[in-house]
Amino acid sequence: MAVERLKRRVEFLRVAGARKKWAMPGLVLQARRRDDQGGALRVGFTASRKVGGAVVRNRTKRRLRVAAEQVIATHGKCGYDYVLIARAGTVGRPFPALLEDLKAALKRVGAWCDDDVERK
């Protein structure tokens, strides 16, 4: 399934306002169910200066984008907005462990989908 991007600040604030989040060693996942359930998956990425300088922040966001393409595209529920927040450990975390963090966080916020039957 195609994954669209959240780009505007108001979209990020709506997801944060839903207060549905889970923190893992490699990332923080926030999720929000939208009103249009048939809509596409939308994902936003953020990294504060606490993570590091510009180079480190960009590297962490690239890693989160690839993880989202692999996990959220196949296991995320339709009609949800997701925000992935980088943590200080994101850049040094082994990629398989980062993928497992994202999978576990999806399950904890109740946005995990095993197959295409649940998506429709």
Domain boundaries, the chain: 3-111
State the CATH class of domain 3-111. Answer: alpha beta
Q: What pLDDT band is residue 101 in, cutting at 50, 70 and 90? A: very high
Closest CA to 24 of 68, 72, 84, 66: 84
pLDDT, tens only, 55-86: 999 999 999 999 999 999 899 888 889 999 99
Q: What is the pLDDT of residue 46?
A: 95
Cβ-contact 77, 51 below 8 angstroms: no
Q: What is the pLDDT of residue 111?
A: 86
